[in-house]
Amino acid sequence: MAEILHQQRLILELLVMSGNIAVSDVDDGTLLYATMKECEKSGWLTLKHFGAGFDQAVITQQGRLKIQNRRAVRSGEHANEKRRPIDS
């Protein structure tokens, strides 16, 4: 499975928190559009046409698992690490 990029994780997290969202179906050159297409290609979300000029972005089960796995890795990364105090 492909490694998830930061902006891809943010979009998937947004979909989990907000539910399905409407996005433009026109490639306007934005990072949002490109990232949505990357996530769709990876199978992490689907884009379904639902109205004049808009797609509905829906997170897939594979997308949910991807961000859950990432959270598990991140929470375990620093479990045994001791933090240094910040010098002021």
Task: Identify which has the larger pLDDT, 41 or 79.
Answer: 41
Q: What is the largest CA-CA distance in the chain?
A: 56
The whole-angstrom separation of Cα 72 and Cα 88 is 32
Q: Is the pLDDT of residue 30 over 70?
A: yes
Q: Is the pLDDT of residue 55 over 80?
A: yes
Q: Is the pLDDT of residue 53 over 90?
A: yes
Which run of H or of E encompasses 57? Answer: strand 54-59
Asked whether residue 82 is domain-assigned, the answer is: no
pLDDT at 14: 95
pLDDT at 69: 74
pLDDT at 7: 96
The whole-angstrom separation of Cα 69 and Cα 85 is 30
CATH of residue 61's domain is 1.10.10.10
Asked whether residue 84 is domain-assigned, the answer is: no
Q: Is 25 helix (H, G, I), strand (E, B) or coil?
A: coil
Domain that holds residue 40: 6-73
What's the predicted TM-score (pTM) here?
Answer: 0.75
The helices-and-strands tally (H runs, E runs) of the chain is 3, 3
Q: Is the pLDDT of residue 9 over 60?
A: yes
Asked whether residue 67 is domain-assigned, the answer is: yes
In one letter, which amino acid is 3?
E
In the chain, the number of structural domains is 1
Asked whether residue 85 is domain-assigned, the answer is: no
